[in-house]
Amino acid sequence: MDQLLRRHYDRIHAVCRRITSNEADAADAAQEALIAVVRGLHRFDGRSAFGTWVYRVATNASLDELRRRRRRPLASVDADHRREHDDAARPTEPADPAAERPIDMVAERMATDAALAGLAEEFRVPVVLRDVADLDYAEIAEVLGIPIGTVKSRIARGRGMLAGALGRHGNRDGSPGRPTGAS
């Protein structure tokens, strides 16, 4: 059991972090997901891949955490956001010019995270399951309990909104394309 959970933990946490858009909530959701996996393992019937089932559990734990967040007092969330914004607003000079690329990658990831956080749940969750968890459309449809066509349209619309939020104008053919920073 320990090996199984360790094998899936990083991707479970990544899905939770992108869905909840908050590290503390992601940690809580990932922990709840792992507990739910252990408690519900006897209910796993093998009709889907184990990873698909685990992502469904992680998605549900993340959505539960978002519902709990909505019930929390807003003052602490606003203070946390101000601290994060204040920290991000401080310009820093890299000590090593070769370090600029990793800094650019971090900045791009932060921008992607912020853009994802701005998406409505109905678009953010399928985009995260596709681009972070790397599930196929059928698996996402199964996880979310919606038709494949709905999954495809929500992913397309979500990616389009992400591209707009990130200031990307699409590929040469005019399509929004798959965001590269959503890993």
**Do both 60 and 136 map to the same domain?**
no
Q: What is the mean pLDDT of the chain?
A: 79
Predicted TM-score of the model (pTM): 0.61
Does 65 share its domain with 95? Answer: no
Residues 122 and 154 grouped into a single domain:
yes
**Is there a single domain that holds both residue 182 and residue 95?**
yes
Are both 104 and 174 inside the same structural domain?
yes
118 in the same domain as 172: yes
Other Cβ atoms closer than 10 A to 5: 14
The per-residue b/e assignment along 68-97, b for 16 or more CB within 10 angstroms, e otherwise, is: ebeeeeeeeeeeeeeeeeeeeeeeeeeeee
Whether 68 and 119 map to the same domain: the answer is: no
**pLDDT tens, residue by residue, 49-90:** 888 889 999 999 999 998 888 876 655 444 455 455 444 444
Q: What is the mean pLDDT of residues 24-34?
A: 94
Of the three residues 73, 106, 122, the one that is the final residue of a domain is 73
Q: What confidence tens digit (pLDDT) does each residue in 80-117 have?
A: 554 554 444 444 444 445 545 555 667 777 788 888 88
Whether residue 112 sits in one domain with residue 59: no
User: Residue 58 domain-assigned?
Assistant: yes
Within-domain flag for 182: yes
Q: How many CA atoms lie within 13 A of 163 on its CB side?
A: 17
pLDDT digits (tens, 9 = 90+) for 149-165: 999 999 999 999 999 99
In our burial notation (b when 16+ CB lie closer than 10 A, e otherwise), range 30-58 reads: bbbbbebbeeeeeeeeeebeebbbbbbbb
What CATH number is attached to the domain comprising 69?
A: 1.10.1740.10
Q: Are residues 99 and 43 in the same domain?
A: no
Position 27 scores a pLDDT of 94
Same domain, 180 and 145: yes
Is the per-residue pLDDT at 137 higher than 90? yes
Domain assignment of residue 78, yes or no: no
Asked whether residue 82 is assigned to any structural domain, the reply reads no
One-letter-per-residue 3-state SS of the chain = CHHHHHHHHHHHHHHHHHHHCCHHHHHHHHHHHHHHHHHHHHHCCCCCCHHHHHHHHHHHHHHHHHHHHHHCCHHHHHHHHHHHHHHHHCCCCCCCHHHHHHHHHHHHHHHHHHHHHHCCHHHHHHHHHHHCCCCCHHHHHHHHCCCHHHHHHHHHHHHHHHHHHCCCCCCCCCCCCCCCCCC
Residue 26 shares a structural domain with residue 65: yes
Residue 183 has a pLDDT of 40
With 90 as the cut, is the pLDDT of residue 29 above it?
A: yes
81 part of a folded domain: no
Number of structural domains (the chain) is 2
For residue 30, being part of any structural domain is answered with yes
Asked whether residue 80 is assigned to any structural domain, the reply reads no
The token duo for 2 is 């320990």
pLDDT in tens, 117-133: 899 999 999 999 998 88
Residue numbers of the domain that contains 143: 91-183
Q: Based on the fold, state whether residues 114 and 61 are members of the same structural domain.
A: no
pLDDT above 80 (res 173): no
Cα–Cα distance for residue pair 72/29, rounded to 1 Å: 15
